[in-house]
């Protein structure tokens, strides 16, 4: 018998940035990647509707895949619904992805940190609480981007990215104050690490870009018992809630070692 899979959840391709780290750490595990593309972008949803939507969807996903653990590889979803998921499905472990404010506050030298996220994550109380808990001594600028997650989707499917659009989206992250400059940008959306090279290229000065993917994968690993044998033979799969994966998406999933059933 093979071990139960790890379920990775996002609105689109962003969770693949976490999946690739998880694979390195847990090569013997089986993965089910769920892209709720029918609901993309999560960042634009009203909170109550998105909460209900994700809770209902998870009831079906847990039933269908019976995962050992679920990783919410999405800041926009985690900052809204991680507590509600734990409450609604007690006994099932969930790992969330929330803005890496604490490591940013520990690392900054200038005291100027920016959190780049979807408009949803930026307005969450959860995000504000993280800042007041961990970053009181810093100046944290929250930058909500309407377009970066979509740009990352296009880039991953078609290989094209509009650099001027990336430049415009990240520009508000860069602040100069009393001779100090922003030195850390937290990538608080799992889609963004796919664009980080373009961000580096279009940034007005060099900064540290914090991607929490490895830390999330480590957290998931720490909560799992050792594998019972290897999952070889059972393919890792990708599920799209729209039921429509076109050629570009299928090819992308193949590149990540995922089969669309
Ligand atoms: N990847 C998601 C996140 O980490 C957001 C993308 C979306 O708006 O759906 O926040």
User: Is 1 inside a domain boundary?
Assistant: no
pLDDT tens, residue by residue, 61-94: 999 999 999 999 999 999 999 999 999 999 999 9
208 three-state secondary structure? strand
Tokens 């914090």 map to which residue?
A: 210
pLDDT-derived band at 229 (thresholds 50, 70, 90) equals: low
User: Is 261 inside a domain boundary?
Assistant: no
Contact 43, 80 (CB under 8 A): no
Is 115 found in the same domain as 133?
A: yes
How many domains does one find in the chain? 2
User: What CATH number is attached to the domain comprising 219?
Assistant: 3.40.50.1860
Binding site residues for substrate, as ranges? 10-11, 42-43, 75-76, 190-191
* CA of residue 118 to ligand 1 center, whole Å: 6
Q: 71 vs 31, 77, 242, CA distance in Å? A: 10, 11, 20
Contact 219, 82 (CB under 8 A): no
What is the dihedral sign for C-alpha 259, 222, 98, 78? Answer: positive
Is 155 found in the same domain as 75?
A: no
11 lines ligand 1 (CB under 6 A): yes
User: Is 168 inside a domain boundary?
Assistant: yes
Is 235 found in the same domain as 189?
A: no
pLDDT of 2 strictly over 60? no
- Residue range(s) defining the domain that contains residue 35: 6-97+214-255
Is 206 found in the same domain as 115?
A: yes
Of 11, 18, 194, 188, nearest in space to 117 by CA: 188
Q: What is the pLDDT of residue 87?
A: 98
User: Is 221 inside a domain boundary?
Assistant: yes
Angstrom distance (rounded) from CA 118 to CA 171? 15
Q: What is the pLDDT of residue 115?
A: 98
pLDDT of 228 strictly over 70? no
pLDDT tens, residue by residue, 169-181: 999 999 999 999 9
121 lines ligand 1 (CB under 6 A): yes
211 lines ligand 1 (CB under 6 A): no
Is 174 found in the same domain as 119?
A: yes
Helix, strand, coil tally for the chain in percent (to 5):
50, 15, 35
Length reported for the chain: 261
Is 106 found in the same domain as 207?
A: yes
pLDDT-derived band at 225 (thresholds 50, 70, 90) equals: confident
What is the dihedral sign for C-alpha 100, 105, 110, 112? Answer: positive
DSSP letter for 203, please: -
Is 52 found in the same domain as 15?
A: yes
Angstrom distance (rounded) from CA 196 to CA 224? 30
């Amino acid at each position: 018998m093979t071990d139960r899979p790890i379920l990775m959840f996002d609105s689109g391709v962003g969770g693949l940035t976490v999946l690739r780290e998880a694979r390195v750490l847990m090569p013997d595990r089986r993965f089910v990647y769920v892209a709720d593309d029918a609901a993309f972008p999560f960042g634009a949803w009203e909170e109550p509707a998105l909460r209900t939507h994700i809770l209902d969807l998870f009831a079906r996903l847990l039933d269908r895949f019976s995962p050992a653990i679920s990783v919410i590889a999405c800041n926009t979803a985690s900052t809204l619904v991680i507590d509600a998921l734990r409450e609604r499905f007690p006994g099932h472990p969930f790992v969330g992805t929330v803005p890496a404010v604490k490591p940013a506050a520990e690392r900054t030298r200038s005291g100027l940190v920016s959190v780049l996220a979807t408009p949803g994550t930026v307005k969450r109380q959860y995000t504000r609480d993280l800042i007041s808990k961990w970053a009181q001594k810093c100046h944290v600028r929250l930058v909500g981007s309407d377009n970066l997650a979509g740009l990352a989707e296009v880039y991953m499917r078609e290989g094209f990215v509009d650099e001027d659009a990336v430049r415009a989206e990240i520009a508000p992250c860069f602040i100069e104050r009393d001779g100090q400059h922003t030195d850390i940008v937290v990538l608080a959306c799992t889609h963004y690490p796919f664009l980080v090279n373009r961000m580096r290229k279009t940034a007005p000065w060099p900064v540290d870009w914090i991607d929490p993917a490895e830390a999330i994968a480590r957290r998931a690993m720490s909560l799992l018992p050792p594998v019972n044998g290897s999952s070889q033979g059972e393919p890792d799969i990708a599920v799209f809630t729209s039921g429509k994966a076109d050629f570009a998406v299928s090819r992308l999933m193949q590149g990540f070692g995922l089969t669309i059933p």
